[in-house]
Structure formats: C-alpha cells, structure tokens
Amino acid sequence: MTGPRFYDELTEWWPLFSPPEHYVEEAADLLRRLAPFARPGATLLELGSGGGSLASHLRPHFTLTLTDRSPGMLAVSRTVHPDAEHILGDMRTLRLNRQFDVVLVHDAIMYATEEADVRATLETAAAHCRPGGTVAVLPDYLRETFTEGTDDGGEDASDGRGFRYLEWRWDPDPGDDTYLVDYAFMLRDASGAVEVVHDRHVEGLFARARWFEWFQAAGLDATSEIDEWGRDVFIAQPVRA
C-alpha cells in the first residue's frame, strides 16, 4: 500500500477536505444496513479510520475503536472523537486480541493495491468480528463500477485558511489491478499565501467475483448491494464452524 503525502505532512488540512458534514447521507445509509447491531453497548472497530469524519455519525450508536497507520490522521480524529479509543496500526496486520459487534473498512480499502493486501485486511476484519457480528467493507470502486472522471471541492476555516482541490481519476492500464487518482491541492494559509501541491494516489481495483472469493477464504459469508451512489457495499458475517 502506498503512502500519499496527504496522509503524512498534509493531515492538518483534512478537516477542510473531508469534514464530517460531508458524510451525513452516506452514514445514514450505512446505519440502516447496520441497524440490527446498533444497540446500547454495541462495539465497532474501524480499520483505516482516517480523520474520523464518517465515524462521527456512528458515535451515537456504537462504542468506537478507531485505528489507522497514520499518526497525523489519528491526531485529527482525536479532535473529533476525544472519548473514542484510538490505536495506531496497519489494517493488514493489526491484532487486538478482542472482538467487536461490527468491523468496518471504509474507503481506506482502496489503498490495498495487491491481492495479498485485500486478503490480509479481510483476515484482520474476520479475526476481530465476534460470532454473530458483521463486517462491512465499502470500496469506492470495483472493476465493474469504475468510471474515469473529476471532482472538486474544499472548505474555508474561520482563521482565514482555505483549501480547494481538483481530483482526477483515471486508469492508464485497464489490464492491471490499480488506477490513479491525481489531486491538485491549493492551500491558502492565514496570511493569504497560496501553495499548490500535486499528490498522486494509487488505488486498488478488483472484480466483484474476486472479492467474494477473498471474503470466503477469510471465513466470511458476504453479500453485496449497490448503494445510491453506485458503490458496492459488502456486508459479511463469520461463517459458523
């Protein structure tokens, strides 16, 4: 898995790139799917939780354990979730020796660019899911759903800082298992000075049949539904021995 600059030296800009208010509808859709598990005392482990923006909408329904391999992203998340448990760790190798009602892997799974990375992450999810619990995995794209295109956005801060971005998704080699996301970031500091940064993200792209094969190999019985944004949502339960 690659380590783009945005998850290292640029993490302070995350709240202006992808704040919690951008996740209201997506979180509502996910909570509907997780409703059977959202009860008092229910626990949720997120692998690759990033800045905690999606998790902010799950907090009223679950006791959260948030994990990420970026110290900077965890620092951002702690400002959103000061009472949540935060753990530094790689979703491929993390082992907490405990189990949760729900294990969630959101779009961090896109940085699993090799089959071994995906399989290892699903094994981590299975190892931390209690019997009768559920695993939810939400990749941005599968091979069947990927489309090239652009997006843009950004927010301003009360201290005068501002952030704008252009996102460009493209696939230079449809025969392999990755695609590229090139970002142009415009970073305005409080003095008004603007810096332009290019950041390239390499992301994984796998066929739906392979995903089901890997869930099964991890001991998870998975189903998939397409959400209103055209993305696969995998919901899986541990296979009973």
- Residue 1 is predicted with a pLDDT of 44
- Residue 240 is predicted with a pLDDT of 79
Range of the domain at 64: 5-142+207-238
- Residue 20 is predicted with a pLDDT of 95
49 and 68 share one domain: yes
38 and 59 share one domain: yes
Read off the CATH number of the domain in which 41 is found: 3.40.50.150
82 and 167 share one domain: no
62 and 137 share one domain: yes
Give the whole-angstrom CA distance, residue 57 versus residue 206: 29
Report the candidate in 28, 31, 98 with the shortest Cα–Cα distance to residue 67.
Answer: 98
- Residue 144 is predicted with a pLDDT of 97
112 and 61 share one domain: yes
Other beta carbons within 10 Å of 114? 13
214 and 109 share one domain: yes
159 and 64 share one domain: no
25 and 137 share one domain: yes
- Residue 38 is predicted with a pLDDT of 83
47 and 71 share one domain: yes
Give the whole-angstrom CA distance, residue 125 versus residue 134: 9
160 and 107 share one domain: no
In which residue are the tokens 């909408």 written? 57
52 and 97 share one domain: yes
218 and 111 share one domain: yes
Number of domains in the chain: 2
The β-bridge relationship of strands 100-105 and 129-137 is parallel
Read off the CATH number of the domain in which 161 is found: 2.20.25.110
Report the candidate in 122, 117, 179, 119 with the shortest Cα–Cα distance to residue 146.
Answer: 179
Compute mean pLDDT per 10 residues along the chain, 241 residues long, and list them.
Answer: 78 96 96 90 96 95 97 96 96 98 97 98 98 97 98 96 98 97 98 97 98 98 96 95 62
